[in-house]
Amino acid sequence: MMLLCSFLLFSIFYGIFRAEQRINQARRNVSVEEGGSVILDCAYASVNTNPDLFWYIQYPNEAPKYMLRRGNYGEVDTAPEYKEKFNANLDKTAMTVPLTVQNVQLSDSAVYYCALRLRVRMTFSHPLQNTGALGL
């Protein structure tokens, strides 16, 4: 019985983590006039129904920096330095999380990355019990 349970858990995890996950940022280069606004597209595909979507910014000769996260359950987190200028809304139906940049300045020139992280929740229908096998 223990072997069967282990195999089933392995099969579930293997299936979840092997499933195809994709991010698509269609436009590679975007030009906008200073003071204007721009929307950077990000579409995702996931068999997981509750992914977290992230945006990162990378300035020349620097490491990428976290900007914001949008969770499938409505969680919203934006790094303080990006709250005034950047916003993203997760559209679960269209499977998109476009980034809006307001009042664009030359200093906003950077590479913007959209990223996806899966969430896996496990629930058990029976409470775990001490069998005494470990001498507890």
Q: Domain of 43: which CATH number?
A: 2.60.40.10
- The total domain count for the chain is 1
Q: Which residue has the higher pLDDT, 86 or 6?
A: 86
pLDDT per residue as tens digits for the range 82-96: 999 999 999 988 999
Does 22 map to a domain? no
Does 75 map to a domain? yes
Does 134 map to a domain? no
Does 99 map to a domain? yes
Does 5 map to a domain? no
> How would residue 47 be classed by pLDDT, with cut points 50, 70 and 90?
confident
**In Å, how far are 1, 3, 6, 129, 135 from 132, measured between CA atoms?**
17, 19, 19, 9, 5
DSSP secondary structure letter of residue 125: S
Domain that holds residue 57: 35-117
Q: What percent of the chain has pLDDT over 90?
A: 50
Does 16 map to a domain? no
Does 95 map to a domain? yes
Is the C-alpha dihedral spanning 93, 115, 47, 13 positive or negative? negative
Q: What is the pLDDT of residue 126?
A: 59
Segment 5-15 mean pLDDT: 34
Does 129 map to a domain? no
Q: Reply yes or no on whether the pLDDT at 1 is more than 60.
A: no
**Hey, which bits of the chain come out as E strands?**
21-24, 38-40, 43-46, 52-58, 65-71, 76-78, 86-88, 99-101, 111-117
